[in-house]
Structure 1
Amino acid sequence: MLDDTASNLRQYLNALRTDGFGGDIAEDEAARLVGATDNSIYHIAPQAILFPRDAADVAKAAALADRFGIALTARGGGTGTNGQSLNDGVVIDMSRHMTDILSLDTDAGTVTVEPGVVLDQLNAYLRPQGYFFAPTVSTSSRATVGGMFATDASGKGSRIYGRMSDHVLSADIILANGQSATVTTHATSDAELERSGKAIRRDLNTHAQEIAHRFPAMNRGLTGYNLDEARTGAGDLNYIKLLAGSEGTLALTTRLTLRITPIPKTRALTVLAYDDCVAALDHVPYLADAEPAAIEFLDDKILALAAASPMWSEVENVLGQVGEAGGFLFVEFTGDNEDEVLAGQDRLAHILEKNHIPLTAQVTTAAPAEMSALWEMRKRSVGLLAAVETSRIGLPFVEDAAVPPENLSAFVAEFGQLLDARGLTYGMFGHADVGCVHVRPMLNMRDPADRDQIRPISDAVSALCQKHGGLIWGEHGKGMRGEYVETYVGPDLYAVMRRIKAAFDPNNRLNPGKLATAADSDMTVMKLDAVPMRGARDAQIDETAHADFDRAIACNGNGACHNWAPSDPMCPSYKATRDKVQAPKGRASLFREWTRLRSTGEDAAPVEEALKDSLDTCLSCKSCTGQCPVRVDVPAMKSAFLHEYFKTRTRPARDHVLRHVERLSLALRKLPRLANLLAGNPLTRAVLNRGFGLVDIPRYSALSAEQAVQDAGGKLVSPNTRPSNWGERPVLLALDSFTGAFDTKVIGQSAALLGRLGFTVWAIPPVANGKARQVRGMMDAFQAQRDQTVALLSQFGADDLPLISLEPAVTDLLNKDYDLGAGQVLSLDRFLSNNLHALPRLPDDEAARFTLFTHCTEKTADPATPRRWQSVFRHFGLTLDIADTGCCGMAGLFGHEAEHRAMSGQLFDLSWREPLETAGLGALATGFSCRSQAGRFGDAEPAHPCSALLARLEP
């Protein structure tokens, strides 16, 4: 933090509060730990983090920082792969409060936004108007436009759409001294900055020939400060080009006016498969002549990792046709009408007919859902390469090198040889049409020998890029690699850059040590191997702790859990708070530090309490388990942590109730009237609320689960009453304690539906599953219950009957946490879908339309669930729409905890209330907790999908 003392920091923060700073100030250990990492290999803890609410707050922060000698580093989504927003001063994070879309002018084709607006948020806002914001980064669900401006981001389609700086018309900025200014592509509102601008312009004119010589003529020619584009044709200074890509070293951005682009009305995607990566990349210069909107590349490692992930069900229909291949190109054509796309495909076909490079397969799709899924898989390539459960994972330190496309194949071949010589494996993907292919070497950063490879590999790749006329950074910014800037631009232009830095920030207050330091200052830029690395800290974690919490340690900081979309299940607590400490990435950071401190014998108590506080808002919904590219399973680690935490502490009274609540409810369900009378009276509710912190306890069903099965024509079975003849087409329902006690109508409807379809229905009376014990970390008690339930269910394994579970959370629990042998426990939709060929098909009933609300656990653990329900409904002549929702906010236990009721309701309002109101009586929900939540906060409790199917089959 430069030479600032702790006293200066204290004075600075106190002055901020006194001066009316309206945002949040975080200086606690948890916030600093979470702010110490991004999506890079580095770890630099800031002294404090500011979350401004508006431009006035940013101005106060900068002016006081100048006064007290404090360094400020701007941060957006925290998705940088090279430590761009990491520094040891004070971080100013725009992503929590400065998230408003301020105005839209469709006549002018512009939108004005604050810097914390997320790209997907912006495009969701623009889509109904027929527009989108063209720079398409793979981290679009959490990348902020301010961060995109800081790195001059691009992404898919940049060959035709260009970079971020090509779409920014004006920017409101705060200078290092706290003064505000507006800059455009040719002017500034600040007189002093205008004077500096004239000097910069003269400097650029003086060095015009050197600039033309040094800067590569390529789409991704980024070197920081964009010297080659910083002058307009009229000779003015283009402040936008100067600031774009400067990584917060020149100014702090508070508002951006952006050019928006009409959405292409039609598109089609062709997947081309090749023997190997070199063959695929050899073909790119030929394919570019077809003028596609994008040519994206990925290798067989990415495809194999995708095939092993939950997302595969969404892309299998297309990628399942390409067979074995070593490299793949995704070639997309877009247009305002179908003829334009067909013309592009015809051009592609003519090129392919010439057989320049042999293909192993090709497949084309114009289905929007398939194309969306394919592009989503490509976007997740970054995370997939970190998901491998080995000691070495793909790392991004040289991953965005770019060369002219005609040199790409040779460059990648030599890149591969370089890594092969070091015995390293790697994965590849990227934007082939603009010469940017991301190569991620796989290293174990806990191993000092692997950490020592960062420098020689970086140096070798930088030299290789220069050899092929490119740059080591083609897309993801420079960050800690700023030391290479002088190598690329030469000493004269680097001196120009230092003079630009001095004109904007003479005292090196803004993101110091990055890109360039101010002329006449003694500060030097950071060295990429002299910065603290996460792996060195992780190496201090002992092997036992590493095994128990390996998924937290595997977190690479990609930030997928910071997903903006309310309709995305991941991560509910982050969506409600916008607090990164309360997201899987934040919790993983705290898990890492907790295990590290315990391993080294240091005082872990402060971090332990911070981790406990963070986990208290975790819903244990398991969305992170299915959606995190690295599979950071926070609920599982939360259970392990609480188990350890309460070994030396007294559990709250509520935990003792929850230890026995499932067995108690299974007993009380047999006396539903008495149970409801006891649970529903004001005195009991007051005791449960004030004494145990429990609210809104569900009512017991008047009809028992057993009677519901028998009334539907089914039969009961137990290990002691197993029949000698199971009947024709038998199925076995494993009834759970939730529907079995509180929602038995679903059991009756499911049994009746299966019976109508010609199955002989048997049911095991409701059994305990131990879910509450698991969530609260009572692992000994959970394991005892699991062993008991496994013993019960396993006795039916030899009969080889389809075993069906009706509750999504229990189905997931049985399949992932129970050892039931080879037989998978089936959800009702999976069983029906598997047997559609043997079920009668009914004519379409156009008047019967329903909307399905899926449980967030099944939505993330088994993304094919909604499509299976749709196929089943379609088979019976019904139309089923899928509601685009995230977590309902109940998540079982969480919604019944008094301290979480407000957040639970907030989450319901976030993505469930409006779609439920729109769906009306046609709303259907698969999860018991979801139906309960809708009844609690909504107008009515939706039915289970089986009720609509049963009604369709009734005469």
Structure 2
Amino acid sequence: MLDNTASNLRQYLNALRADGFGGDIAEDEAARLVGATDNSIYHIAPQAILFPRNAADVALAATLADRFCIALTARGGGTGTNGQSLNDGVVLDMSRHMTGILTLDTDAGTVTVESGVVLDQLNAFLRPHGFFFAPTVSTSSRATVGGMFATDASGKGSRIYGRMSDHVLAADLVLANGRGASVTTQGTSDKELERIGRAIRNDLNTHAREIARRFPVMNRGLTGYNLDEARADAGDLNYIKLLAGSEGTLALSTHLTLRITPIPKTRALTVLAYDNCIAALDHVPFLATAEPSAIEFLDDRILALAAASPMWSEVESVLGRIGEAGGFLFVEFTGDTEDEVRAGQDRLARVLEKNHVIPTAQITTAAPAEMSALWEMRKRSVGLLAAVETSRIGLPFVEDAAVPPENLSAFVAEFGQLLDARGLTYGMFGHADVGCVHVRPMLNMRDPADRDQIRPISDAVSALCRKHGGLIWGEHGKGMRGEYVETYVGPDLYAVMRRIKAAFDPDNRLNPGKLVTAAGSDLTVMKLDAVPMRGARDAQIDETVHADFDRAIACNGNGACHNWAPEDPMCPSYKATHDKVQAPKGRASLFREWARLRSTGEDAAPVEEALKDSLDTCLSCKSCTGQCPVRVDIPAMKSAFLHEYFKSRTRPARDHVLRHMEGLSLALRKLPRLANLLAGNPLTRAVLNRGFGLVDIPRYAALCAEQAVQDADGRLVYPHAPPPNWGERPVLLMLDSFTGAFDTKVIAQSAALLGRLGFTVWAIPPLANGKARQVRGMMDAFAAQRDRSAALLSRLGADDLPLISLEPAVTNLLNKDYDLGLRTVLPLDRFLSDNLHILPRLPADEAARYTLFLHCTEKTADPATPRRWQAVFRHFGLTLDIASTGCCGMAGLFGHEAEHRAMSSQLFDLSWREPLEAAGSGALATGFSCRSQAGRFGGAKPAHPCAALLARLEP
């Protein structure tokens, strides 16, 4: 019997510590809240979360769990769409520490990894060796291989590459009693497991005919004990096939030996557009005869959502030409030679010539950047359907149904009719070539009536799948849908599965209540509408509170913020800590609970303090705002939270300094020598550090901003006295308080550059923007500053002038948080690229090569930024490479806060140090904070890109 009492849990955790558990143990409210959700509609808080460092920790956790009757549930990336890793016992999270890639054998084509290795991490390691791991999932930036094994994952390309279980050669396991064992596709040398295996094999042999009758012959066959494939050809038990898809209910995997695949050397992608979804899916069986590596599908709703998101700039050059359509197929061919790919395209052309179904348009590309952007859009389909800013969003509870491809269009048509009859809209995407199309009904889970639709829709879709020879789970595992297992396999095979569970885990210790329960036990399988739902908790949130924190409540748990890659901007505090409480998803979970408790009148203080602690490590870099598929804007909500938090508390002394620092800086900048003497002497630095927690305050520029403009033959303009004549081709530089006080060389260079290009350059003296006040939640003071500055701008009367900002963080602030009417403040790269047609083109200078380091805010808010800078440099004969980096670690205030200096340095080392050193004197950086950080920790301050352009124009 399981013992979930608090006293028993305390004894278990104490025993873990006493016996040398080397990982982390989290039992605080914040960690439990964050661990209560995945990418599903459910909310089940674990009692504690363990983060083992190695297999010995996993074995100890299981051994003691057996002794204390504690339930254990393994968790990887936490991206499950049906609550696969949610349970109310103790969670074993493998993703924090068990991330080692141990051995690679390219001759054998194998790699051995720990179970917490992320798929993108593995492929980044394999790429230089010419290999990749073939199972491809859309959550590859955070999905762990252990989690993929637990669900027998598959994705794009599975028609030729198969499922996860087709690529696992061996696994090291920890059994329910804590004992270690190893298995391979050939069997096991473990005597106890071999005894269990013989009994299971005999059971499977006895029921071979029923297995053949019940299991459909299709790529996305039944997962969860894989009874049809668990018997090897020789009659032995294939433990890998048995365990794959078992969702951690039979054993815990610690190491996996994987088969790796050579990377195809060339590929091409054809996009086909159709009048509607059904026409597109009707065409799939015919297109499959051309033997492409993948046929992926998305509908017009996905495309419309993508067009409204920052990613559209990446794909507009391709899809923008394809016109209106109701459904799209992405048909990819891969090969080791161009001739192979061309032959595939020829086969496709011959199929299209037969006019089985006529596309409305088609586009083919072999450009790597275009193909990458198109596939990235397809990967983000999941998040896009949750990004709609309405009360109803796309939900995944029936989204991975699969049927034989020849039945797909009929199945989807009836699926659509089912949802239409309920008045629901939906979006569709998926793997059409293997009959798996993800359909996400739009529901508002805060509405009881919509929550009540989960059961009847699930039942109806399950029945519809059986009608068309398929399954309600074709890709994402069963999770809470385990109650349908018996319906699909029948009572005899269900009894077999229960006996298998009993053989491995007789006490239901591992992920209890999922898939099946052990024969002889009275535990029942979880019911999909009896498990606590996140929406029911959200329904308790007051509407006024909901309005301020709606993006947190909209978080669907897709986990994009748990991105593995150091060079990806989102989320820096998570990358530094690997603590999911300190990621946007974790903060969103705390926001929604804080809002709920405040709404119900319960004690919100513990959660409030946990939220405050989590937000203290948020850099307010805005990367989540641009990169999160649901657009969870943590910095904006952080400001709103701090505004509320300090209504009843005394602000720290540092906040009072920051409230006035911008105004003080704009005054002191006119006396730079005195200001640097006052701010830079040891006594002042000590006071700022020990008294206010501020470090490394930048030095004031010796050249005054106004003088910098005039030295470049620019002109100054003041709001109270706009000129009667702005001159020919006028532009207005919006000088900010950062470059205007500390980096005026950039102002001089930008003004000179624009002047050389034939523009009449005007500049308004550095203007306060209130950024620090906003970040620290001084919203009244920020609003006052914003209104003053906006009023000054309006008095200029320069309605037709291009407004140009030189600092990315300020550009974003002015466009997003200021009310400038229809005006848009342009970054310099956008202004220049928009005007290339009137600017002189210069011949290529082969010796002039630069590397640009972009501010994380601009490249996530506007992904077209790097292409624009490259186009501008190319126009002037220069070569510009784009450094692949995450956040530099400064992010304005964060890097100057004493308690965050170590993390700031860690983030710089994580993705900036090496590429900056490699770039040498050719390094350029757009952000003031980035240039400051590079000077602080990298020893060299990069120039702004305008400096390189100006140098090119100089005689």
Give the TM-score taking structure 1 as reference length.
1.00
Structure 2 distance, partners of 1:905, 1:223, is: 45
How far has the Cα of 1:123 moved from its partner?
A: 0.3
Aligned to 1:197: 197
How far has the Cα of 1:223 moved from its partner?
A: 3.4
Q: Secondary structure at the match of 1:267?
A: strand
* Letter aligned with residue 827 of structure 1: P
* Letter aligned with residue 484 of structure 2: Y
Structure 2 distance, partners of 1:209, 1:799, is: 79
* Letter aligned with residue 498 of structure 2: R
Paired residues, number: 955
Matches within 5 A, 1:66-77: 66-77=66-77
Report whether the alignment pairs 1:219 with 2:205.
no
Report whether the alignment pairs 1:272 with 2:289.
no
The CA deviation string for residues 858-896 of structure 1, in whole angstroms up to 9 with x for no partner, is: 010000001000000000000000000000000000000
Report whether the alignment pairs 1:428 with 2:434.
no
CA RMSD of aligned residues (A): 0.6
Aligned to 1:882: 882
Q: Secondary structure at the match of 1:437?
A: strand
The CA deviation string for residues 76-122 of structure 1, in whole angstroms up to 9 with x for no partner, is: 00000000000000000000000010111101100000011000000
Aligned to 1:366: 366
Contact conserved, 1:568 with 1:885, CA < 8 A, in 2?
Answer: yes
Aligned to 1:388: 388
Report whether the alignment pairs 1:124 with 2:117.
no
Report whether the alignment pairs 1:18 with 2:23.
no
How far has the Cα of 1:798 moved from its partner?
A: 4.6
Structure 1 distance, partners of 2:930, 2:798, is: 34
Structure 2 distance, partners of 1:913, 1:305, is: 36
Report whether the alignment pairs 1:33 with 2:7.
no
Report whether the alignment pairs 1:727 with 2:754.
no
How far has the Cα of 1:6 moved from its partner?
A: 1.1
The CA deviation string for residues 520-557 of structure 1, in whole angstroms up to 9 with x for no partner, is: 00011000000000000000000001111000000000
Aligned to 1:254: 254
Aligned to 2:590: 590
Aligned to 1:761: 761
How far has the Cα of 1:225 moved from its partner?
A: 0.3
Aligned to 1:677: 677
Structure 2 distance, partners of 1:464, 1:940, is: 64
Aligned to 2:309: 309
Contact conserved, 2:498 with 2:518, CA < 8 A, in 1?
Answer: yes
Structure 1 distance, partners of 2:280, 2:243, is: 36
How far has the Cα of 1:351 moved from its partner?
A: 0.7
Aligned to 1:524: 524
How far has the Cα of 1:796 moved from its partner?
A: 2.9
How far has the Cα of 1:24 moved from its partner?
A: 0.3
Matches within 5 A, 1:453-602: 453-602=453-602
How far has the Cα of 1:720 moved from its partner?
A: 2.5
* Letter aligned with residue 914 of structure 2: E
Structure 2 distance, partners of 1:611, 1:2, is: 32
Q: Secondary structure at the match of 1:377?
A: helix
Q: Secondary structure at the match of 2:273?
A: strand
* Letter aligned with residue 198 of structure 1: R
Contact conserved, 1:141 with 1:562, CA < 8 A, in 2?
Answer: yes
Aligned to 1:697: 697
Structure 2 distance, partners of 1:40, 1:723, is: 59
Structure 2 distance, partners of 1:368, 1:619, is: 33
Structure 2 distance, partners of 1:4, 1:771, is: 48
Contact conserved, 2:299 with 2:326, CA < 8 A, in 1?
Answer: yes
Aligned to 2:412: 412
Aligned to 1:916: 916
Q: Secondary structure at the match of 2:720?
A: helix
Q: Tell which deviates more after alignment, 507-516 or 187-196.
A: 187-196
The CA deviation string for residues 713-753 of structure 1, in whole angstroms up to 9 with x for no partner, is: 10000122311111110000010000000000000000000
Q: Secondary structure at the match of 1:153?
A: coil
Structure 2 distance, partners of 1:681, 1:188, is: 70
Structure 1 distance, partners of 2:643, 2:363, is: 51
CA shift in 2, pair 1:166/1:797, >3 Å:
farther
Structure 2 distance, partners of 1:749, 1:827, is: 15
How far has the Cα of 1:939 moved from its partner?
A: 2.4
Contact conserved, 1:797 with 1:823, CA < 8 A, in 2?
Answer: no
Aligned to 1:236: 236
Contact conserved, 1:223 with 1:485, CA < 8 A, in 2?
Answer: no
Contact conserved, 2:274 with 2:358, CA < 8 A, in 1?
Answer: yes
Contact conserved, 2:851 with 2:880, CA < 8 A, in 1?
Answer: yes
Structure 2 distance, partners of 1:365, 1:343, is: 15
Structure 2 distance, partners of 1:693, 1:556, is: 36
Structure 2 distance, partners of 1:794, 1:54, is: 61
Structure 2 distance, partners of 1:429, 1:720, is: 56
The CA deviation string for residues 797-841 of structure 1, in whole angstroms up to 9 with x for no partner, is: 554100000000000000000000101000000000000000000
Contact conserved, 2:73 with 2:510, CA < 8 A, in 1?
Answer: yes
The CA deviation string for residues 759-785 of structure 1, in whole angstroms up to 9 with x for no partner, is: 000000001000000000000000000
* Letter aligned with residue 549 of structure 1: F
* Letter aligned with residue 26 of structure 2: A
Report whether the alignment pairs 1:655 with 2:647.
no
Structure 1 distance, partners of 2:124, 2:551, is: 32
Structure 1 distance, partners of 2:392, 2:719, is: 47
Structure 2 distance, partners of 1:319, 1:5, is: 57
Structure 2 distance, partners of 1:304, 1:796, is: 38
How far has the Cα of 1:35 moved from its partner?
A: 0.2
Aligned to 2:147: 147
Structure 2, unmatched stretches of 5+, are none
Q: Secondary structure at the match of 2:933?
A: helix
Structure 2 distance, partners of 1:893, 1:720, is: 32
The CA deviation string for residues 306-362 of structure 1, in whole angstroms up to 9 with x for no partner, is: 000000000001000111000000000000010000110011011111111111110
Structure 2 distance, partners of 1:856, 1:455, is: 43
Structure 2 distance, partners of 1:467, 1:794, is: 65
Structure 2 distance, partners of 1:737, 1:53, is: 46
How far has the Cα of 1:488 moved from its partner?
A: 0.3
Report whether the alignment pairs 1:96 with 2:96.
yes
Structure 2 distance, partners of 1:720, 1:258, is: 70
Q: Secondary structure at the match of 1:290?
A: coil
Structure 2 distance, partners of 1:400, 1:850, is: 46
Structure 1, unmatched stretches of 5+, are none
Aligned to 1:686: 686
Report whether the alignment pairs 1:105 with 2:124.
no
* Letter aligned with residue 752 of structure 1: A
Give the TM-score taking structure 2 as reference length.
1.00
